[in-house]
Chains A and B, each alone.
Chain A
Amino acid sequence: MPQSSVAAVTISADGRSVRVPAGVTVAAALLDLGTSAFRRSVSGEPRAPLCGMGTCYECRVTIDGVAHRRACLVTVAEGMHVTTADGAEEAPA
């Protein structure tokens, strides 16, 4: 990603501080970071974005402590904390 040519923000992804392009969705940012399991099904299977438009709910992550946010509908913001299924424990709700 040519970070020099676009504005960037710093988010925390599973406790790791990363620079991501400003204006992209959390889903895009996580995919760019190589995230494969956004969440896990009841039986523990990995889940990741399917529709990218808020319908399938497969991309849910915890954002700033709020569980089950759809990563494809939320734009990254400076200082945002994002936790995926396999990330550090973050108390939901």
Chain B
Amino acid sequence: MSARRADAIIVGAGIVGAACAVALARDGLRVLVIDAGGAALGTTAAGMGHVVVMDDSPEQLALTRYSQSLWRAQDDAVRAASELDWCGTVWVAEDEAQLEALPAKQQLYRDHGLETEVLDETTLIEAEPHLRRGLPGGLLVPSDAVIYQPAATIALLALARTMGAEVLQRMPVEEIVPCGVRCGADTLRADVIVNAAGAAAASLTPQLPVIPRKGHLVITERYPGFCRHQVAELGYLASAHVMTSESVAFNVQPRSTGQVMVGSSRELVGWDASMNRRVLGRMIARACEFMPALADLVAVRTWTGFRPATPDKLPLIGRWPDVPGLWIAAGHEGLGITTSLGTATLLADLVASREPAIDAAPFAPDRAVTAGVH
């Protein structure tokens, strides 16, 4: 084991680690991916399958837009295995103020080459017949997609293997050392170490500003056609943005099986993964306010997980100056499924000293991080 020599060791076989494995292997590096558990079983399993453009900040917009274009250009086998469905997103306005903000949002998307459609009360219901009557309108973003991210992760790892990467599962990394990782008595060495350990990233690089942000999810039985798009309330961004308090926001996604995934909740409660029935109840009630027919569906499973949150809502991508050889690909909060591919490409560009397609400076892991700047 200690004789094993890779050029790059990626800690974490979630979707970000898997995408980094592909990007670095494509550059000719001998890649080793190590995960304490199994592929896509940690942070990746906690999420919904967004492949969306989000406009909470210019930097977030740039990274999500870039990442989405990479999903569109992704290897055919990976796209098929990921159940990638370009179903689009319907953002639902709840009141006149949100409705009046839509033209500016539409213009912002247009400035980034994305055509959207402002929906009125009637066309909103035509787009999503199970939405409550009387909602004033919304914005249809046809270019968004949903994927089944555990399958996407496994497909990315399989693609990396075809380029020579190795994946070791059920092997906890106990410590990241200069140009190496320690697993029990063994230290595995490589010039490039990538911390892609999701919500647990700060346990291996303690100064990283990544904290676990808990969420609940519900998945229903199969009801094909119940919703046609991903549907979310426009208040979602505000809910995601508030870092101090507990919040819920309406967000549903259709799965290719016909199941409906229902979110979302946000809490800062450390690593307490227990089901919070009060928050879960609030989350479901919020969803039923927008889609009353959800109340008649049979739920088959509820679960909790942790988003890797950063104070300024942007991921940490790049070199970590305090430890020789260490690079970070972490802190993606609720957007890691979308931004995995952009993160990986950006990271590979930085490792290879190439000019990245988008500005990497806002994502520098050692940037001065302040909350609420956007």
Contact = CB atoms under 8 A, between A and B. Distances in A.
A68 B221 contact: yes
A68 B298 contact: yes
A67 B260 CA distance: 14
B257 interface: yes
Contacts of B222: 42, 68
Contacts of B296: 66, 93
A67 B223 contact: yes
Interface in B219-244: 221-226
Given A66-B296, A68-B298, A93 B257 contact: no
The 6 closest A-B pairs by CB, nearest first: A68-B298, A68-B221, A92-B223, A93-B223, A42-B257, A93-B296
Interface size class of B (residues with CB under 8 A): 10 to 19
Nearest to B224: A92
- Interface centre among A67, A68, A93, by most B CB within 10 Å? A93
Contacts of B293: 93
Contacts, number: 20
B85 to A, nearest CB: 16
B136 to A, nearest CB: 25
Contacts of B297: 93
Contacts of B225: 91-92
A5 B84 CA distance: 57
13 contacts: A42-B222, A42-B257, A60-B221, A67-B221, A67-B298, A68-B221, A68-B222, A91-B225, A92-B223, A92-B224, A92-B225, A93-B223, A93-B297
Interface of B: 221-226, 257, 293, 296-298
B276 to A, nearest CB: 26
Nearest to A92: B223
A91 B296 CA distance: 14
Nearest to B226: A93
A19 B221 CA distance: 31
Contacts of A66: 296
- Interface centre among A42, A91, A92, by most B CB within 10 Å? A92
A91 B293 CA distance: 13
A68 B226 CA distance: 14
Contacts of A91: 225
A29 B58 CA distance: 61
Nearest to B255: A42
Interface string A78-93: 0000000000000111
Contacts of A67: 221, 223, 298
A89 B370 CA distance: 55
A36 to B, nearest CB: 20
- Interface centre among B222, B226, B297, by most A CB within 10 Å? B222
A68 B225 CA distance: 15
A85 to B, nearest CB: 11
A91 B222 CA distance: 12
Contacts of B257: 42
Contacts of B224: 92
Interface string A52-93: 000000001000001110000000000000000000000111
Contacts of B298: 67-68
